Chain A
Amino acid sequence: MAKYILKRIFYLFLTLFIIATLTFFLMKMLPGTPFSNQNRMSPDQLKIVKAQYGLDQSVFVQYVRYMGGLLQGNLGTSFQFNNEPVTALIGQRLAPSMQIGAQAMILGTVLGILLGAVAAIRKNTWVDTLATFISILGLSIPSFVLAVLLQFYLAYKWHIYPVALWDNFQSSVLPTLALAALPLGNVARFMRTEMVDVMSSDYIELAKAKGNSSWKVVTKHALRNSLIPVVTIIGPMAVSVMTGSMVVENIFSIPGIGEQFVKSITTNDYPTIMGLTIFYSFLLVVIILIVDILYGFIDPRIRLGNGGKE
C-alpha cells in the first residue's frame, strides 16, 4: 500500500511537471506581448518594464526561473490585476469557489444516491422512469444553461434569491443548484445500476429469507454495498463541477477562481492563466489520487498492485 501511494505521488509530480512545462511553452508561443500600450512607450521604458517582469532573459532562463518559483509555491505576478502575485489572487478567491463546489458536490451526491436507490428498489415502475428522466436531465443540460434559467425564474421573476451577488448563504443557493445537477444525474445513474446488481445478489436473497424487513435489507445490506463503487466517480465529478463553476461563477458574479480564470483569458493575463491552469491541474490530480487511495481502503477486494489503471 505504502509503495503504491509513493508511486502514485511520484507520478503526480511527474504529471504536474509536464503540465507546467507545456503551459509555460504554450504561453511563450503566443504572438504579441502582454503590454498592450507598448506603442506609446519608448524603447527604454519598454526595456525597463520587460526587465521588471524578467522578460528580457532568454526563454530557457525564464523557464528555469518559473519552475524554480513553482517549487517555492510562487506562480508569478499578474500583468493585469494590480501586479498582485498569482498565488495571492488565488488565495483571495479560493473560498467562494470551494464553498459552492463543496455544496454542489454534497447536495448532488446525496440526492443522487437517494434517487438512484429509490429507482432501483422500485425498478420498472413509474418511479424508476421518473428518476431516470431526472438523472438524464441532470446529465444532459449544461450547467450554464441551467444557471441562466434558474437566474431568470428564481431570481429575476420570482425574487426568491439574489440575481448576482455574493455575500451570504442565500446568494450561494442558485449557483449550487446549477452545479449540483450534473453530480446528481451521474450518481443517480451509477447508483441505480449498482443497486439493481446488488439487489439481485445472493446475500440479499439470504437477508430477505431470514425474514428481515425490506427496509432493513435495503439500508443494512443493499445501500452499503452499492455505495462503494460510487466513490470512484467522485473524482471525475469534482472535476466537472470545478470546470462548470468557471462559467457559473461568471453568470452569478461570484468572486471565485473560475470567474478569475475567465477574466484572465479575456484580458490576456498570461501569468494568471498559467498559474490557474497549474493550480486546477494540481487540485484535480490530488482529488483523483485521494479518491483512488480511499477506494483501496474502503473496498478490500481491490488489489492496489494492479489497480489505479482503468
Chain B
Amino acid sequence: MGVKNNMEQIPNVPKEKFKLIHDENNNEQEKIGTPSLTYLQDVRRRLFSNKVAVVCLTLLSIIVLISLFAPLVAPHNPNAQQVTLSNLPPKLGNLNIPGFNGYQNMGGKMVDAYKQAGASKDTFYLLGTDYLGRDLLSRIIYGTRLSLIVAILATLVDLIIGVPYGIVSGWKGGRTDTIMQRIVEIVSSVPNLIVVILMMIILKPGLGSIVIAIAITGWVTMARLIRAQTFQLKEQEYILAARTLGESSTKIATKHLIPNLSSTIIIQTMFTIPNAIFFEAFLSFIGIGIPAPNASLGTLLSDGQKAFRFLPYQMWAPAIILSIIMIATNLLGDGLRDAFDPQSDD
C-alpha cells in the first residue's frame, strides 16, 4: 500500500526538465584512446617497430626488386663472352677509386688491366669480368635471380605438400596419423643433403630438378609443425562448433584451420627460403646444380674460389651477396616470429 502511495506522491515533472549532468565528462571517459587493431595490424605494428627486421626487409626488397627487373638493371648480357676482356678487375667509370680503378697487381706492379687488354676508354665493368670476359655484375644479378627463383619455387612446393599433409595427419589422428608420422620419421632420418644429391644425380641437371630435389625432403619440417598445431586447434571450441553445425572436414580445414595456421606457415616459410638458397648454392658449388652457362650464386662462388689467388674480387661479390641474403632472411624470420607471437620472446 505504502509503495503505491509514494508513487502517487511524485509530482508530474515534464520530460524537458530532465537533463544528464556531466554528459561530456562521461563521453570522455568512455572514449577509446587508440583505434582498436586487428591481429594483422598488430603484427605489422610490432614488425615495423623492430629496427633489425625493417632493415632486413628493406635489404631483401631491394635485392628482390633488382632481380625481378634484372633485364633492365643488368648493364650487360650475363652470358655474353668477350674473351679479349677476360679477368678484368672492377672499374667504376674513370673515377680513380682504389680497388675500383681497373688496376691489377701483376708481378708486384700495379698495371692498368683495361689498357693491357686493349679495351676502349669507355669500357668499364663495375665488378670486373670473369675468365670468359662476362660481366660479373650482370652475372651476379642474374645469379641472385636464379637462386631466389629456386628458393621461392622450392618453398611453394614445400607448402603444397607440407601443409595438407600436416593438416590431414593432425586432423584424422589415430592410425592414419601414426602411419603418416612413421613416413615423416623415415624421410627425416635421411640427411637432407644426401637425398638432394641423389635426386640431382638421377634427374637431369636444371632448375626444375633442383626444386624437386630440395622440396622432396623440405616439406617434412613444415608437415610436423602443422600437424602439432592442428592437434591443438582441433580441440578449440570454434572447431567443435563448426563440426556440430555439420561443416565438412575440407571446409573446416580451409575456413578455420588454415587461417589460424597462417602465422606458423609464414614463419616457417621464412626459414625454408634460406635453407633452399643454401642447398642450391651448395649443389652448384660442388658442380651438380645449375648447369653452365647460367649463373647462380653457387656457381659464381665456385668459379671465384678457383681463381681467388689472383682475382679475389671474383669471390668477394657472390660471397657477400649470398651471406647478406642468408642473414637478412634469418633475421627477418626472427622478427616475424616475434611479431606474430610476442609471447615467444622473453
Contact = CB atoms under 8 A, between A and B. Distances in A.
The answer to whether A and B come from one shared complex is: yes
Interface of A: 11, 14-15, 18-19, 23, 26, 29-30, 123, 136-137, 139-142, 144-145, 148-149, 151-152, 156, 193, 196-197, 200, 239, 242-243, 246-247, 250-251, 261-262, 265-266, 268, 273, 277, 280-281, 284-285, 288, 309-310
A289 B39 CA distance: 41
Contact of B322 (A139, A145, A273): A145
26 contacts: A19-B186, A26-B202, A123-B346, A136-B330, A140-B274, A140-B323, A141-B327, A142-B281, A144-B285, A144-B301, A148-B304, A152-B308, A197-B346, A243-B193, A243-B194, A247-B285, A250-B286, A261-B197, A265-B286, A266-B287, A268-B201, A273-B198, A281-B194, A284-B189, A284-B190, A288-B189
A30 B201 contact: yes
A149 B189 CA distance: 32
Nearest to A250: B286
Contact of B191 (A123, A193, A242, A262): A242
A259 to B, nearest CB: 10
Interface in B193-222: 193-194, 197-198, 201-202
- Across chains A and B, which 6 residue pairs bring their CB atoms closest together, nearest first? A140-B326, A243-B193, A140-B327, A148-B305, A196-B346, A140-B330
B202 to A, nearest CB: 6
B315 A152 contact: yes
B284 to A, nearest CB: 11
A298 to B, nearest CB: 22
A149 B186 contact: no
A11 B184 CA distance: 13
User: Could you tell me the dominant secondary structure of chain A's interface residues?
Assistant: helix
Contacts of B286: 246-247, 250, 262, 265-266
A266 B288 CA distance: 8
B331 interface: yes
Contacts of A18: 186
A307 B23 CA distance: 63
B114 interface: no
Contact of B326 (A19, A142, A250, A309): A142
Contacts of A140: 274, 323, 326-327, 330
B282 interface: yes
A277 B319 CA distance: 29
A273 B288 CA distance: 14
Given A152-B315, A247-B282, A277-B198, A145 B323 contact: yes
Contacts of B301: 144-145, 148
Contacts of A246: 193, 286
A242 B194 CA distance: 11
Contacts of A243: 191-194
B134 interface: no
Nearest to B327: A140
Given A15-B189, A142-B322, A148 B315 contact: yes
B278 interface: yes
Interface in B309-346: 309, 312, 315, 319, 322-323, 326-327, 330-331, 346
Contacts of B185: 11, 15
Contacts of A137: 327
A157 B185 CA distance: 46
Contacts of A242: 191
A152 B282 CA distance: 19
Contacts of B186: 14-15, 18-19
Nearest to A147: B305
B181 interface: yes
Interface string B162-196: 00000000000000000001000110011111100
B224 interface: yes
Given A280-B191, A288-B189, 12 more contacts: A15-B185, A15-B186, A136-B330, A142-B326, A151-B308, A152-B312, A239-B191, A251-B305, A265-B197, A281-B194, A310-B224, A310-B228
Residue of A136, A145, A196 most packed against chain B (CB within 10 A): A145
Given A142-B281, A152-B312, A247-B285, A284 B322 contact: no
Contacts of B228: 310
Interface string B273-309: 0100010011001111000000000000100110011
A273 B189 contact: no
Contacts of A266: 286-288
Contacts of A247: 282, 285-286
A144 B282 contact: yes
Nearest to B344: A193
B201 A273 contact: yes
B239 to A, nearest CB: 23
A19 B285 contact: no
A309 B194 CA distance: 23
Given A141-B323, A144-B285, A196-B346, A23 B198 contact: yes
